[in-house]
Amino acid sequence: MKFNRLIAGILLIASAGAAGAAPSAQAILAASDAIRNPGKPFALTVTLVEYRNARQVDGNTLTVYSKADANSGQFRSLIRFVAPARDANKLMLKSGNDLWFFDPSSKASIRLSPQQRLLGQAANGDVVTVNLAKDYQAQLAAEENVLDGDRQSRRCYKLALAAVSPDVTYHHIEMWIDASNSRPVKARFYTESGQLLKTAYYRRYQAQLGVERPTETVIIDGLDPNWVTVMRYSDYVWRDVPEAWLQRDYLPRFKPE
């Protein structure tokens, strides 16, 4: 558990010591990252269901293999499409902004820009693991009660996150993190001009790989709130992927058992 909770605890204590009473915003964010993201290489299944006006319009199943980069601390991910049948066995590799798509039928490895989306509403960066504390500078904006994804009132730190480099998916983020246990509760993602892109609720907390983690994210479009994507995470397993596999040239080879 212990490892992640311990780290989260140490970060909180260390920052609390430095600041007097309240933990630093960056430490709160790092602690919440540790709840969302396992601390060792892992694999999981992501199932997406997309709604328009309360009607299901799309569904996808993906298997995601993630491993943190030893230098940057940011995750690199291999994403394998499982369903629908049309897309089965297609692959995506995401290593920072290096994004490749591979289709086994045509053997074509195509480089994608971060703006190209393969999964409808969800940005490519949404389906993979991201350590926000590596990409964003956090400031404590408020401490307030908000309703979580289960409509329960939670005492939360409200953090204002600003991107530290221009090559991340979102320019700035508002994030609410449970003050009692560092669980991410809710986030709002914005463009540079301040337009709300989407709202996300983190919910269905379950014990996965030793920590209570959110196993569902509900994404609501910023412009059209009737556009909703439910992302559910299952089949968590510790799974190391050799460094040599996380490159374009291995995509035609990638075939997990």
Partner 1 sequence: MRILALFLLAAMSSPALADDADAAALLLADKTTMTAEQSSDWHVYVEAAAREARERGANPSLHGTRTSIDARFDQTFAPGWRAVFADRLDMNRMNGVSGNQDINTLKEAYLSWQAQPDRIADLGRINARNGVAFGYNPTDYFRSGALRSIVSLDPASLRENRLGSAMLRGQALWNGGSLTALYSPKLADKPSNADFSPDFGATNQRDRWQIALSDKLSEALNPQWLLSGGAGQSPQLGLNLTALPSDATVAYFEWSGGRAPSLAAQALMSPDDTAFRSRVSSGLTYTTPNNISFTAEYEYNGAGLHEAGWNALRRGRPAAYALYRNFVANLQELPTRDNLFLYAVWQDALVKNLDLTAMVRHDLVDHSRLQWLEMRYHWTRVDVALQTQLDTGQPGSNYGALPDRRLWQAVARYFF
CB of 2 or CB of 107, closer to partner 1: 107
Rounded to a whole number of angstroms, the minimum distance from the CB of residue 190 to partner 1 is 14
CB of 147 or CB of 237, closer to partner 1: 147
Cβ contacts of 221-225, under 8 Å, gap ≥ 24: 221/121, 221/197, 222/188, 222/189, 222/195, 222/196, 222/197, 222/198, 223/195, 223/196
State yes or no: residue 206 binds partner 1 (CB under 8 A): no
The b-or-e profile of 196-214 (16+ CB within 10 A means b, else e) is: ebbbbbbbebeebbebebb
CB of 7 or CB of 230, closer to partner 1: 230
Stretch that binds partner 1, among 13-21, 35-43, 135-143, 246-254 (CB under 8 A): 246-254
CB of 15 or CB of 198, closer to partner 1: 198
Binder of partner 1 out of 2, 20, 21, 167 (CB under 8 A): 167
State yes or no: residue 74 binds partner 1 (CB under 8 A): no
Rounded to a whole number of angstroms, the minimum distance from the CB of residue 140 to partner 1 is 18
State yes or no: residue 151 binds partner 1 (CB under 8 A): yes
State yes or no: residue 163 binds partner 1 (CB under 8 A): no
CB of 36 or CB of 203, closer to partner 1: 203
Rounded to a whole number of angstroms, the minimum distance from the CB of residue 74 to partner 1 is 11
User: How far, in Å, CA of 191 to CA of 198, rounded?
Assistant: 10
Residues in 7-66 that interact with partner 1 by CB under 8 A:
45, 47, 49, 51-52, 54, 57-59, 61, 63
Which residue's structure tokens are 């212990």?
Answer: 2
Per-residue string for binding with partner 1, 93-112, x by CB under 8 A?
Answer: ---xxx----xxxxxxxxxx
Binder of partner 1 out of 39, 120, 160, 181 (CB under 8 A): 120
State yes or no: residue 144 binds partner 1 (CB under 8 A): yes
Residues in the chain: 257
Q: At what angle do helices 25-36 and 2-19 cross, to 10 degrees?
A: 170
Determine contact, residues 177/161, Cβ cutoff 8 Å. no
CA 251 from centroid of its chain's CA atoms: 22
State yes or no: residue 83 binds partner 1 (CB under 8 A): yes
State yes or no: residue 180 binds partner 1 (CB under 8 A): no
